[in-house]
Amino acid sequence: MLSTATLYVISVSLLLGGTAGFVMHRSDFCIAGVFRDLFLFRQAFMLRILLLLIFASMILFELARHFGILRDYPYLWIAPASFSNIIGAFLFGIGMVLAGGCVVGTLYKMGSGNLLSLYAFGGLLFGSVLYAEIHPLWTSLFAQTLVFSGLATLPQLLDVDPTVPVLLVALLVSALWAGVLRGLPWTRGAAAEGYLQPWKAALFLALIGLLSYVFVGMPLGITTAYTKLGAMVEQLFFPQHVAGLSYLSAQPIHYLPPFSDLTLIGGAGPHFDAVAIIQYPLIVGIVLGSAFSAIRLGEFRVHLRAPRRQIVSVIAGGVMMGLACRMTPGCNVWHLLGGLPIFSLQAVFYLIGLLPGAWVGSRILQKIVVR
Amino acid sequence: MSEQIAELIEFDIRGQICPSTLLTALREVNSHRSALKTGRVQLAIMTDNRDSTATIPDSVRNMGYAVTVKKTQDHYRILIGK
């Protein structure tokens, strides 16, 4: 029998995931595409939209903190920065471009019937459990390259109120708005039916991130569930091996859902626990939300034919992303839409690794995959 | 119209990785540059990639070609010509 707290978290996550999936499909909001198109086509339109999303999230999170709506600040499961994060993010950057979408992009594309994204999803699960094999080694590297005395955010490091950097960034954005951003387009003339302008999608996603923070206790994140799901599959074939992996048997997470006094435990292993009740419904929600949108538009269709190079690329990209998600840990959505808005130092390191990774991925895609 | 369309070249990019549609469009526009300019060739690209209905017209119009996008059943048909 599920507790009220568990049912509450599942319902909220499913609803938020479903809305995000619908919004992402309507505007084809691909964060991997933001970086890929910047390097491949010198197109910065979606980069501006992503910056809008991060800025809007920053303002919303700060207002929520200011008015005492956030129970936890920084949010639950935030981690300190280590140079190992940069390596993980670099690998993630290559992987997301080769897979044709990040961990969230893969889900909404899969929901609309894209078979290549389903292959990438398989790669993600494999890569995620592959990490369990190197976890002890990676934990050691993480600890050895830890910086800033284990502090998680810039305001903590500088010992200032978070309002200070928020105001500074707001001033910077205002100056950019009046300067280099002046006159640049914020809408595009897409002919797709039911198209949602990306700037509107960005504001919706910022709001969804805030609702997740307030009602779940943290911003959107789904990657530990990939390991969990992969471990469930692996357990069917190699139960003894799975039981012997420290990463999959540990349950280090203690989760107290907002508006609840029942602490739940969780981890990356093949158990139905705190991670499962938060992240599984998000994954299912994004896929279903996107599928609903595609079906409503009459655009849901599975195409079985794809060039072999592309199939290899998306599977390899998925494996890289899965592995990288645990090395970082976390994905681009977790770091860029959750971490950067509260000045997470790990998110800054993540961005430093992600950019060159996406550049390398774009080169490989252009030279080898799509010829 | 004094000139006739001699050839319609079609590309089916449905179900392919992003950004195959835009890469294919740019590559083919470049390789058929003169034939497109004189109207001897038109390119038709079938795609299920919603983003391409914005990025291809943006890029190709900037290069001086005409573009139309039509939804056909469950996908989009992008026509590039003179």
Give the global pTM.
0.95
Over chain A, what HEC string results?
A: CCCHHHHHHHHHHHHHHHHHHHHHHHHCCCHHHHHHHHHHHCCCHHHHHHHHHHHHHHHHHHHHHHCCCCCCCCCCCCCCCEHHHHHHHHHHHHHHHHCCCCHHHHHHHHHCCCHHHHHHHHHHHHHHHHHHHHHHHHHHHHHHCECHHHCCEHHHHHCCCCHHHHHHHHHHHHHHHHCCCCCCCCCCCCCCCCCCCHHHHHHHHHHHHHHHHHHCCCCCCCHHHHHHHHHHHHHHHCHHHHHHCHHHHCCCEEECCCCCCCCEEECCCCCCCHHHHHHHHHHHHHHHHHHHHHHHCCCCCCCCCCCHHHHHHHHHHHHHHHHHHHHCCCCHHHHHHHHHHHCEHHHHHHHHHHHHHHHHHHHHHHHHHCC
User: How many whole angstroms separate alpha carbon A276 and alpha carbon A197?
Assistant: 33
Interface contact A40-B50, CB threshold 8 A:
no
Confidence of residue B2 (pLDDT cuts 50, 70, 90): very low
Residues of A (189-228) whose Cβ lies below 8 Å from B: 189-193, 195
Residue A5, pLDDT above cutoff 80? yes
Residue B6, pLDDT above cutoff 80? no
Residue A93, pLDDT above cutoff 80? yes
ipTM attached to this prediction: 0.93
Task: Order across the sheet with B7-12: list the strands.
Answer: B7-12, B41-47, B75-81, B66-72
B51 interaction partners in chain A (CB closer than 8 Å)? 28, 30, 33, 190
Residues of A (62-91) whose Cβ lies below 8 Å from B: none
Q: Name the average pLDDT for chain A.
A: 96
Interface test with B, best of A299, A305, A312, A315 (most B CBs within 10 A): A299
Please enumerate in sequence order all residues whose Cβ is within 8 A of that of B62, keeping only pairs 6 or more positions apart, or say none. Answer: none
Residue B66, pLDDT above cutoff 60? yes
Residue A340, pLDDT above cutoff 90? yes
Interface test with B, best of A41, A115, A195 (most B CBs within 10 A): A41
Q: Which two tokens stand for residue B75?
A: 């996908």
Predicted local confidence at residue B1, as pLDDT: 45
Chain B touched by A41 (CB under 8 Å): yes
A115 interaction partners in chain B (CB closer than 8 Å)? 15
A195 interaction partners in chain B (CB closer than 8 Å)? 50, 53-54
Mean pLDDT, range A106-129, rounded to an integer: 97
Confidence of residue A305 (pLDDT cuts 50, 70, 90): confident
B59 interaction partners in chain A (CB closer than 8 Å)? 41
Helix or strand holding residue B25 (H, E): helix B20-31
Chain A touched by B72 (CB under 8 Å): no
| Residue range A169-227, pLDDT digits in tens | 999 999 999 999 999 999 999 999 999 999 999 999 999 999 999 999 999 999 999 99
The whole-angstrom distance between A224's CA and the closest CA on chain B is 25
Confidence of residue A371 (pLDDT cuts 50, 70, 90): confident
| Residue range A258-281, pLDDT digits in tens | 988 889 999 999 999 999 999 999
